[in-house]
Chains A and B, each alone.
Chain A
Amino acid sequence: MFVSRSMTRKVITVDQEANIFEAQELMTGKHIRHLPVVDKANRLIGIVTDRDIRSALPYSFFKESVSETEKEKLSNLSVKDIMSKNPISISPTYTIQDALLLIQDSRVGALPVVDDDGKLTGIISVRDLLRAFINVLGIGEPGTLLCILVEEKVGQLKKIVDAITEENISFGSVLVARYWDEDKRAVFPYLLTQNVAHVKKKLEKLGFTLLDPMQWYLDQLPKHEA
């Protein structure tokens, strides 16, 4: 669950004296959007994003052909002029959950990972977190997702898991959406099988409601936050 297991370790960095076109080329060539800026000792001193670079270029740069002199003037701009200094960074012992919440809160697309000595050891981006999420959902493996509506009381999940296990079906994952209708939760078992017709009938016989797939949702927020 630690960031160190999911982050990119071979970080592509840039020197603060590099000009903005060098930084732009680096990002385009490597298909990345964030370049940590480090000093000679690999200590993090800033971060520059593709958006920082676009904002630094005049509108005319995208619209019209820019003269060589204009371009030369722009290339005097260096990374240190446009980078965010003292960017938010995290330590390798941050968890994936920490990173998810911090990225949501701080509205950044990536977090540099820095060890106790301030040295850059990795970077974790939204893309890395998505990969981890895909893994948790289990959707890389063939299977079928169900959605079961349950009363919010103890022991419901056990009944569901037991009923499915009795059918000799393996779980890819089980998601429980806590915030649903009042006093209700939604359980999403991802079953590693094509053969769900029988288990669906069995769950209905046990009194569970199987939701129409068109009514499924995952991102209902608690009312007070909405």
Chain B
Amino acid sequence: MNKTGFLYDERYQLHKTGHFHPEIPDRLPSVYNGIKEAGLLSKLVLIKACMPEMKWIETVHDKNYIQRFEAACGSGKMIFDSPDNQMCAVTYDTALLAVGGILDVVRQVMDRELDNAFCAVRPPGHHAEVNRAMGFCYFNNIAIAARYIQKNWSIERVGIVDFDVHHGNGTQHIFEDDPSVFYYSIHQHPSFAYPGTGREFECGKNLGYGYTKNSPVLPGQGDSEYKRLIQRDLLPAFAEFKPEVILVSAGFDAHMDDDMSDIKLSTEGFSWIAKKIVEMANTYAQGRLISVLEGGYSLRRLPELARNHVEILLNS
């Protein structure tokens, strides 16, 4: 059995998003209870949130953006940059705690104190651009983690797999010029879903051309199409790239019971994806894998999805 880390902190529920917003604090207890009720807590290494050094956030985001976010939050504004990004007085601090917790987990995995980990954080990150909050996201957690790894360990190739049902525009844009970070995303086709990027022909830019890969999925599709596309696009790409560590943007909103999309993945479909990613981590990255929660809004399905995800990390 692996030494698997589980980042969870009740303070991640302090970020409040208001009425009719799907990205609610209750998502996290849902995740936690699913793992707890399956009796997995005692097998995991529990990790609490902590504050990060600002310099790591600045490896991805403009200083000016960070200040703007802090100021907006401090001034009592309820919305930042886009109406999707509803917030409260402690949203900025919660976003910092998410980054801090993830970086602590990353350090433990890279220093071999842990084999792999799942980070149940809020707010999510993959839509956040260098200088713009978008789609419920403020700091791009996964992108900051990738830069943190590159600056502290001699790692030449970081692989990111994003299976949130929405394309991670922020992550893609941050690394599109960078051949040392491979960004792969599978998501609902952008003509039918937010944010409208992640088309098949978006493959990276300049030196980074060929190090971004997108698999758009048409509405109504599910397990078999995901399997086909992951086998066709992701597996060969990573076999060639050979990532030395894998970061996962784990969004569970492609589930058939999640009303954020028209994709019909089953609970088993998610497990299949997780197993494939873990297999790649074992083959290329000495098992080093850090998975970070993005979307996933079905409070009914989150418990089983999180439980299975963590179980696969433990038993790989």
**Residue positions of A touching B, CB distance < 8 A:** 139, 141-145, 167-170, 192-198, 200, 212-214, 216
Contacts and interface: CB of A to CB of B under 8 A. Distances in A.
Contacts of A213: 192, 218-220, 262
B135 interface: yes
A139 B22 contact: no
Contact of A194 (B194, B219, B220): B194
B219 A195 contact: no
Contacts of A214: 218-220
A193 B194 contact: yes
Nearest to A192: B82
Candidate in A139, A144, A168, A197 with the most chain B CB atoms within 10 angstroms: A144
B196 interface: yes
Contacts of A196: 194
B84 interface: yes
Contact of B192 (A145, A167, A193): A145
B218 A170 contact: no
A144 B193 contact: yes
Contacts of A170: 83
Query: Main secondary structure on chain A at its contact with chain B?
Result: loop
B61 to A, nearest CB: 18
Top-6 shortest CB links A-B: A142-B195, A213-B219, A194-B194, A194-B135, A197-B259, A213-B192
16 contacts: A142-B169, A142-B194, A142-B196, A142-B197, A143-B194, A144-B193, A144-B194, A193-B83, A193-B194, A194-B260, A195-B84, A197-B22, A198-B22, A200-B259, A212-B262, A213-B262
Interface of B: 20-22, 82-84, 127, 134-136, 166, 169, 191-197, 218-220, 259-260, 262, 297
Contacts of A169: 83
A198 B259 CA distance: 9
A130 to B, nearest CB: 15
A194 B262 contact: no
Contacts, number: 60
A139 B197 CA distance: 9
A196 B20 CA distance: 10
Contacts of B22: 195, 197-198
Contacts of A141: 196
A139 B191 CA distance: 9
Given A142-B195, A194-B194, A214-B219, 7 more contacts: A143-B194, A167-B20, A169-B83, A193-B84, A195-B20, A197-B260, A212-B219
Given A193-B83, A197-B260, A142 B134 contact: yes
Contacts of A168: 83
Contacts of B259: 197, 200
A195 to B, nearest CB: 6
Contacts of B83: 168-170, 192-193
B198 to A, nearest CB: 11
Nearest to A216: B192
Given A197-B259, A214-B220, A142 B135 contact: yes
A53 B279 CA distance: 55
Contact of B220 (A139, A200, A212): A212
A143 B20 contact: no
Contacts of B194: 142-144, 193-194, 196
Indicate the member of B22, B192, B196 with the most A CB atoms within 10 Å.
B196
Given A194-B136, A195-B22, A195-B84, A143 B195 contact: yes
A194 B218 contact: no
Nearest to B23: A195
B176 to A, nearest CB: 16
Contacts of A195: 20-22, 84
A194 B84 contact: yes
B191 A194 contact: no
A167 B166 CA distance: 21
A212 B192 CA distance: 10
Nearest to B194: A194
